[in-house]
Structure 1
Amino acid sequence: MTPLQLLSRPMIGAFFVNAGVGTLSNPEPPTEMAAPFLDKLREKVPLPGDDVTLVRVNAAVQVVAGALLTTGRAPRTAALALAASLLPTTLAGHPFWEQEDPGQRAAQRIQFGKNAAIMGGLLAVVSDANHQTRAHMLRSRAKARKRVKASKAPLPR
């Protein structure tokens, strides 16, 4: 892992762990905020009827995936799960297009943009081709070492 990854992944992951724990301990406010979005979504997608459970599942995904990202375990999978969990959170929590008040609209647009930027960072982790390249490089080096050792072996008499 690069020094930048050692710093950036825990910063992003800890944000989600903290947010998820907060939602798990007090799910009612986010559930109230999500209810109109979930009602609209149910018109197109079959979802369970219990909004609190859906909000808690989303929060649990954020806690688990945030912890995985923070510790550097399965970072690409964790980042993908976090980006997926952030999408409904953003659409439900910051529908700036529905705000009549210009001040509220601007505030919600800022929060929407912040979440979109975080999603962009998460997708950058998901697309980290360097991770695959590094693993491939290590395997190639190991194979090369084996070939060198085999070539230096004494010839049988």
Structure 2
Amino acid sequence: MTVILRRLARPMLAGIFIYGGINAFKQAEGHAEAARPVLDKVGERSDKLPDAVPTDPVTLVKIDAGVKIAAGTLLALNKFPRLSSLALIGSLVPTTLAGHPFWEAKDPQEKQQQLIHLLKNAGLVGGLLIAAADTEGRPSVGWRTRHAAEKASKQAHKATGKAGKRAHKASKQIQSTAASARGALPV
């Protein structure tokens, strides 16, 4: 049952990101204009960024669109669902803050619309968090790591225990042989 839910839910969740990414890519200038107030605030600190990091708003919108299209497609196809969900969260949070600043709206109707969009995106982040945490019934990486470490520790202890017993036995034999040899020597 859960396998069927995953196969249905992931593409449904991914659809809005793929569509939004395609739309943003086609209309990058318009999206860059909407994001410009936030990007201008970030741009004030852009002198601290390496030269390889783009600061042009249109380029940033296209990169964000590419992330949404690629990660959304991977999520829809159930390929790297945890990683793609995290990438979509990383893309959605700044997009939401830039695109839906309800706290700055003066018109009550616009404020209401921006708040609705912000809450919708918060719900999408919630769905992506669930998708990112879903191990599909397999133990988590943390559990598998701890389990492997415990198993290795037990094997190492067992191996050193056997080696220690052999060394102790060999030591006893050497002592016994040495004592016999001492007793056989003329005084």
TM range (shorter): 0.7 to 0.9
Residue aligned with 1:48, SS:
coil
Output the amino acid matched with 2:39: L
Deviation at 1:129, TM superposition (A): 3.7
TM-score, normalising length: structure 2: 0.68
Partner residue of 2:151? none
What are the within-5 Å matches in structure 2 for residues 1-157 of structure 1? 2-44=3-45, 46=49, 48-133=54-139
Cα distance in 2 between the residues matched to 1:101 and 1:60: 33
Unaligned residue ranges in structure 1 (runs of 5+): 137-157
Aligned equivalents of 1:92 and 1:103: distance in 2?
Answer: 19
Q: CA deviation at 1:44?
A: 4.3
What's the CA shift for 1:56? Answer: 0.3
Deviation at 1:134, TM superposition (A): 8.9
Report which of the two structures shows the higher radius of gyration computed on alpha carbons. 2
- C-alpha offsets along residues 1-53 of structure 1, whole Å, 9 cap, x if unaligned? 61111111001112211111111112111111100011112334646331000
Deviation at 1:115, TM superposition (A): 0.4
Structure 1 residues 36 and 65 mapped into 2: Cα distance closer, same or farther (>3 Å)?
same
- Cα distance in 1 between the residues matched to 2:94 and 2:103: 15
Letter in 2 for 1:32: E
Between 1:124-133 and 1:39-48, the stretch displaced more is: 39-48
The unaligned stretches of length 5 or more in structure 2 are 145-187
Percent identity over the alignment is 42
Normalising to structure 1: TM-score of the pair?
0.80
Report SS of the residue matched to 1:2.
helix
Alignment partner, residue 182 of structure 2:
none
**Aligned alpha-carbon RMSD (Å):** 1.9
Alpha carbons of structure 1 residues 111 and 3: separation in structure 2 relative to 1, 3 Å: same
Kindly provide the amino acid, as one letter, of the partner of residue 36 in structure 1: P
Equivalent residue pairs, number:
136
Aligned partner letter, 2:11 = P
Q: 2 CA distance for matches of 1:112 and 1:28?
A: 22
